[in-house]
Structure formats: structure tokens, C-alpha cells
Structure 1
Amino acid sequence: MKVTGYRSVTTEHEWGRLIGDANGVMARPRTPVDVLILETDAGVEGIGLGPHAHVEQVFGAVEGQDPRSVTALYDRMLAWVFKTGHAGATFGAIGAIDTALWDLKAKAAGEPLWRTLGALDRFVPGYASGLDIALDDDRLAGLYTEFADRGFSSGKLKGGRRLEDDIRRLRILRDVLGRNSARPALMFDANESWNRSQAVRYVTALERTIDLTWIEEPVRRWDAAGLVSVRRGIRAAVATGENLTGLEQYRPLLDADAVDVVQVGNVWGITHFLRVAAVAHSRDLPVSPVAYHTNPVAHAAAAVPNHLAFEVQGLTAPIGLRVDQEYDDGGIVLGDEPGIGIQVDEDRIVAAQLADTAGRIAGPHVRPHRAGLRLVPDAARERVELS
């Protein structure tokens, strides 16, 4: 079997709600989902998920190669861009190809990827995460009731702008998930919107009322000293890592003892997750994947010894994608279809005429002008400069 080419399609996820975080809210309840399809001379196709605009930079590293040599091809892709760098969009392209290669490897073996990777159990423990900062109290309760109906007893709230609102909303989360646990695990995500002093003051105030399991990305992702400062000033664990690309970016945080829960983004691929999980395990730290549509890394999470909980952001699949997994008992139940279990209906995607790119130019992925520089985190207005 040899890799011969690729196709790239973009579909959308219909959330049924606006999503966002402290940095902003998406303009519409639909967001783009990028799908990479690797083609082979055997007629078998591999599916990868995530933005991959730089795919042409690294595809040559795998073209004509046997896709079953996944880890060697992963290092080959890194080697192809070692001068220009593999961060950001380039690392996303590597991740999408890597996921598609693992999909092909498991399909060639005729088994689901979780079994190819050596997992004993198809169940992946998870936590609910509604990307919920735009929701009013009633819709917040309704959303997490849907998660509670699937057995979830842990959840993560987006916030960091208004303390009183966050306390009230965390109480709602606690009450809804409390039907499944006497002490539901509550996490809080500030999405890098604070400086270190703000983080300690804000979280300390939250902890006077709420027992937080972890605080996520309280300061910038690379700020080892800042993360250490936050860890020392609060009771909750500190979680970060979803936006780090490459093992070398984790090294300063781990060397500084700056993180309690090591996170990994689904969009960076299977091999990256496995390597980060191994490094975290060597330091007795748990690993927690941050979700992306269809949760492809869940197969790898089932196979590592230090997986803590998998973020679940929604209970439906993007338009035109069918995924062989279910949500039950507070987690993801992986299926038996070979590979990562994703089927792509390209005709349906094309018929949906998904050409709107508004979600790419505004929303929580665009850092606000004064993020981390506000004297008052809940400032109602900010000066916006247009150029």
C-alpha cells in the first residue's frame, strides 16, 4: 500500500448555540470543520481532521510511502520543515496527515484504531465542555442537562470576565451535574485571558465558594514562571498544553513544575498525543485531550496509562460525517469499525453549499487587543483599533 494523493473538504458543525470564551464569541452557530482524505493505490482512504492549510509543505514526505510506517513518516514530516519550523498551521497539517495515516494503518489491519494501539477497553472517560460563555442561565442549564442525561458528572465552564456571573454559572453547573455525583468535578477555562496576578486573585475568589478541580490556561501557554506563580497561589490544579506544538514546547513547563494536568489538542495528531502522554507519564502527570470534532484522539487516549478525562464539546457530528462512537456513562464509547471510524459523505457536504468563511475571521480564536492588560477583568467595553 502506498500513499498516492489527497483531497481536502470543508464541512461545518451545527452547534445549535453560539460558542466562545473570554476572548470572543463566534458570529454564528456553525463553525468550519476541515477534513483531509489521504488516497492510496489500494483504494483505501485515510481520514484526518483539523485545519491543514500547509499540507503541500509536508505531503511530499509521505507521498509514495507505505502509510503503515506512521511514526517514521511523522518524523519525516518534521524533518521536511525543520528549517522553516513546524509550529502553528504547519503542525496542524502534520497532525491531519498523521491522523489519516493511523486511520489507514488500522484499516489495513481490519480493526479499530483503539485496538491497533493496544487498548484493553473501548470506553474513554470524559467531561462535558459546552464552550458556553454566550449562553444565558437557562440555556446553560439545558445544555449541561443533555450531558447529564448521558451520565456526565464532570464539566468545564468558560469564563474569566465577571466574577459574580462565573460564580452563579458554576453553581448551575454543579447543580445540574450533581444528579450523577455528590461532588461533581468542576473545571474553569480562562483561555489565556489573564495575567498571573489577575489569575491568582480571580481563582482565589472563586474558590471561596466553588471547589474547582482545575483552572485551565490561566496565563499565556508558554509562561512557565506565570503558571508556577498561579499553581502556588491557588488550591485547584493548573491545566494547560492544548496549543503547544511539539515536545520541545512542553519541556520548559515540565522542567519548571508548572502544570498539574498536561493537555493535548486533537488537531495535532495521534503521534503527538502518544509522545506527550509518554513524557507526562514519566513525570507521573495525567494527560487530558482537548476536543475537536469527532474526537479522533480518543482512540489513543484509550491506550495510554495516564489518561484522565477527554473533553466532549458536543453530542452530534459535523454535517456529512458519520462517526462510529457513542456518548454514555460520562464518556466516549468507541466502536468496532476499522480505523478511527469516520465515514465522509462528500456529496452531502457539497450539496450543503458550505462556503461561508465568517467563522474564520472573528471569534474566540482572535486574541482581544487588551487581553491580559485589563485593570478590571470584567471591563464592559474595549477600544477596538481597525487598520
Structure 2
Amino acid sequence: MRITGFRALTTVQDWGRPIGDANGVHAGGIVRTPIVVVETDEGVSGVGLGSHVLAETVFAAIEGEDPRGVIALYDRMLRRTFKAGHAGAVFGTIGAFDTALWDIKAQLAGEPLWRLLGGRDRRVPAYASGLDIALDDDELARLYRTYAGHGLRAAKLKGGLDIDRDHHRLGLVRDVLVEAGAGPRPGLMLDVNENWTRKQAVRHVGELERSFDLTWIEEPVRRWDVAGHAAVGHGVRASIATGENLTGLEQHRPLITAGAVDVVQTAAGWGITHFLRVAALAHAHDLPVSPIGTTPVGLVHAATAVPNHLVTELQDLRPPVGVSVAHEVADGAFILADSPGLGIALDEAAIKAAGHRVPDPSAGGSHIRPDRAGFHLLPTTNNGDRAPAEFA
């Protein structure tokens, strides 16, 4: 069997509401979702959700190869792009091809990927994550009631712009989860997307911890700030979660070895092999791992096979337009199916029809860091302006 080609597709995730974080908001709730389909000479193809950047260059490393040698091919892709391949969108392209190769490998074995990787339990614990910073109180409560209806009993909110508003919103979601049967102390996390200085983080979280037992605070300072994460970790009770924007073991290693991270995260777009390697490194330091992503199918499968998986992020309950997944969400978990591979199917006609809805990459949103992010004396809105009275 040989790899013969690939197709690069782009669809959209339609949230049906505004989504965003401390850096910005996608007001229309439409986000582009790139997809890579790897083809073989035996008609078996694999799907990976991820970047297309330098796809032709990355593909050259695996063209004509046997797709079953996926781990060796992952390193071959890294070597082919070694000057750019360990960071950013190119690393995401490698991750998309890697995920597609694992999909092929499991299909050829006639097994779901979770079983091929050595997983035992198809149930993968999840927490709710609504990218919800733009929602008002009624919208926020309604959203998390929907998550609670699928059995989720832990939630991660977006915040970091205003202490009082974060306090109010955490309390609101806590009450929703308690009413849904989560017990008196449901899991609560706050993600501030690299929006604070060290002192701001300690002060802000310390204020919140007077009322809440936060499970973790996520990305309190810039992703590469080892000393900063360590300082925040020493100054608060909550665990420090970070790593979704780190690529390669060389970026994770300083944080882990310095004791600056308590929950090690990896993003679905970086691929399955990357996740397995980061999970092993974290396990060597007795640390848990937690995958993140809008449609983290590959990492959900891989999570069943690592001993230190804690919980996986569940964002939108619906997959991207033209994408269907075999798993379901119930009883607070992803429930994986028995279908071979990842269980992803594509409706390419629907994807093509959605092409006119793909937003301009230069449009505003959480992917663009605003001017003076994190450098505000007073509470701010998502636009970096001083907050209106109801946020202050």
C-alpha cells in the first residue's frame, strides 16, 4: 500500500452564536475549519482536521510511503520542515496529516483507533467549554444547561477582563451545574488566554478563590513564560493548565521540568503522535494531560490509551458543516464507537456548498491578539476598551 495523494478542504464550524475569549469575539459564530484527506492506492483514505499551510511541502515527505508507518512518517514530516515545522500553522499541517494516517492505519486493521492504540474503555470524560465570553447571563445559563443535559458536570469559562464579571459568571454556571445534579462543588475552570501579567494573575485568581474552588486557571500568562507560570502556581491554590499552543516536546519540556504546569494540555490540531509523546513526557513527571479542540476526535481516541488522561474539552456539541462523527456525548463523556478508524465521514458536497461562508482570516476574532492585550489598568471589554458600567 502506498500514499498517492491528498485533498485540502475547508468547511466551517457554525456555532449559531457569538464565540470568543479575552482576545476577541467572532460575532457571527462562523469559524473556518480546514481538513486534510490522505489518499492511497488501495482506495482507503484518512481524514485529519487541521492546517493546510505548506501542505505540498509536508506531503512530499510521505508521498509514496506506506501509511502504516505513521510514527516514522511523523518524524519524516518534521525533518522535511525542520526550520518551520516545530511551530505554528506548519506544525498543524503535520498534525492534520498525522491524524489522517492514524485513521488509515486503524481502518486497515479493521479496528476503531482507540482499540488499535491499546485503549480499554471507550468512555472518555469531558468538560463543557463554551467559548462564552460574549454571552449575557441568560445565554450563558441556557448554554450550560444544554451541556448539563448531556451529563457534563464541569465547565471552563472564558474570562480575564474583569474580576467582578468573572466572579458573577462563575457563580451563575456553578448554580446551573448544581441544579443539574453535579453536587455542591462542580468542576470550575477559568481560561484567560495569556491575558495577564504574573501579579495580575495572582491577584485576580486570589480574589476568585475567596468564593470558588477553581480546578484550574488556564494560560494565565504568555505561553512561553516558564518563570511566570511557576510564580502564578506558587501564588494560587488552583492548578495551572497550559500547553495548547505549544508545539513539540522542546516547548513543553521547560514548563514540565520546572514544575510550572499542573495540567498539561495539547491541541487536537497538533496531531495524535504529538499528543502521545507529550502524554508520555507528562506521565514521567506524574502530571495529567487534557486535550483541547473544537472537534478533537483523534485525541479522544488516543486519550483511552494513556494512563494520565484527566479530562477532554468538549466545545460545540455539533461537528463542522459536512462532517459527521461516529461517537456520541452522554453521561459526561465522549462515547466512542466501534467503527474502524476515527469514525469521521465527510459530505464533500455540503463542504463545497459552505465555501462562501468561510470567513476572511483577517477578520476580527480570538485568533488576533489585540493592541495592549493584558496591559490595562481598568476592566476592559473584548475590544480592549474600558468596560461599560455593567462589566465594571
TM-score (norm 2): 0.95
Q: Is the 8 A contact 1:61 1:77 kept in 2?
A: yes
| Secondary structure of the structure 2 residue equivalent to 1:336 | coil
Q: Percent identity?
A: 58
Q: Alpha carbon RMSD of aligned pairs, Å?
A: 1.4
Q: 1:198: which partner in 2?
A: 200
Gapped runs of 5+ residues in structure 1?
none
Counterpart CA distance in 2 for 1:380 and 1:9 is 31
Deviations 1:297-336 (A, max 9, x none): 1000111100000000011111111100100011100111
| Secondary structure of the structure 2 residue equivalent to 1:297 | helix
Matches within 5 A, 1:65-76: 65-76=65-76
Change (3 A) 1:67 1:135: same
**1:292: how far off?**
2.7
Change (3 A) 1:41 1:92: same
Q: 1:287: which partner in 2?
A: 289
Q: Larger deviation: 171-180 or 222-231?
A: 171-180
Change (3 A) 1:72 1:351: same
**1:381: how far off?**
6.7
* Letter paired with 1:216: E
| Secondary structure of the structure 1 residue equivalent to 2:43 | coil
Q: Is the 8 A contact 1:4 1:64 kept in 2?
A: yes
* Letter paired with 1:37: V
| Secondary structure of the structure 2 residue equivalent to 1:338 | coil
Counterpart CA distance in 2 for 1:111 and 1:220 is 40
* Letter paired with 1:280: A
Deviations 1:165-210 (A, max 9, x none): 1111101111111123211000000000111111110000111111
Counterpart CA distance in 1 for 2:380 and 2:196 is 11
Matches within 5 A, 1:350-365: 350-358=352-360, 361-365=363-367
Q: Is the 8 A contact 1:36 1:100 kept in 2?
A: yes
Q: 1:150: which partner in 2?
A: 150
**1:84: how far off?**
4.1
Q: Larger deviation: 341-350 or 240-249?
A: 341-350
**1:296: how far off?**
2.3
Q: 2:88: which partner in 1?
A: 88
**1:92: how far off?**
0.6
Change (3 A) 1:219 1:81: same
* Letter paired with 1:180: G
**1:382: how far off?**
4.2
**1:28: how far off?**
1.2
Q: 2:17: which partner in 1?
A: 17
Change (3 A) 1:247 1:164: same
Counterpart CA distance in 2 for 1:203 and 1:375 is 16
Q: 1:41: which partner in 2?
A: 41
1:307 is the counterpart of 2:280: no
| Secondary structure of the structure 1 residue equivalent to 2:12 | strand
Q: 1:118: which partner in 2?
A: 118
Q: Larger deviation: 354-363 or 260-269?
A: 354-363
| Secondary structure of the structure 1 residue equivalent to 2:252 | helix
Counterpart CA distance in 2 for 1:291 and 1:70 is 22
Change (3 A) 1:211 1:248: same
Counterpart CA distance in 1 for 2:362 and 2:124 is 31
Q: 1:107: which partner in 2?
A: 107
Q: 1:332: which partner in 2?
A: 334
Q: Larger deviation: 109-118 or 84-93?
A: 84-93
Change (3 A) 1:369 1:337: same
| Secondary structure of the structure 2 residue equivalent to 1:36 | strand
Counterpart CA distance in 2 for 1:335 and 1:39 is 23
Change (3 A) 1:254 1:116: same
Change (3 A) 1:353 1:366: closer
**1:352: how far off?**
3.3
Change (3 A) 1:94 1:376: same
Counterpart CA distance in 2 for 1:97 and 1:352 is 23
Matches within 5 A, 1:125-204: 125-178=125-178, 179-182=180-183, 183-204=185-206
The alignment of Structure 1 onto Structure 2 pairs a total of residues equal to 383
**1:357: how far off?**
2.3
Counterpart CA distance in 2 for 1:98 and 1:259 is 26
**1:137: how far off?**
0.4
**1:377: how far off?**
4.3
Counterpart of 1:248 (choices 245, 250, 266) is 250
Deviations 1:242-270 (A, max 9, x none): 00000000111112110000000000000
Gapped runs of 5+ residues in structure 2?
386-392
Q: 1:234: which partner in 2?
A: 236
Q: 1:225: which partner in 2?
A: 227
Change (3 A) 1:58 1:287: same
Q: Is the 8 A contact 2:162 2:380 kept in 1?
A: yes
Q: 2:388: which partner in 1?
A: none
* Letter paired with 2:94: I
| Secondary structure of the structure 2 residue equivalent to 1:327 | strand
Q: Larger deviation: 207-216 or 27-36?
A: 27-36
Deviations 1:42-99 (A, max 9, x none): 0011100012222122111110000000100001111112234421111011000000
Counterpart CA distance in 1 for 2:192 and 2:66 is 42
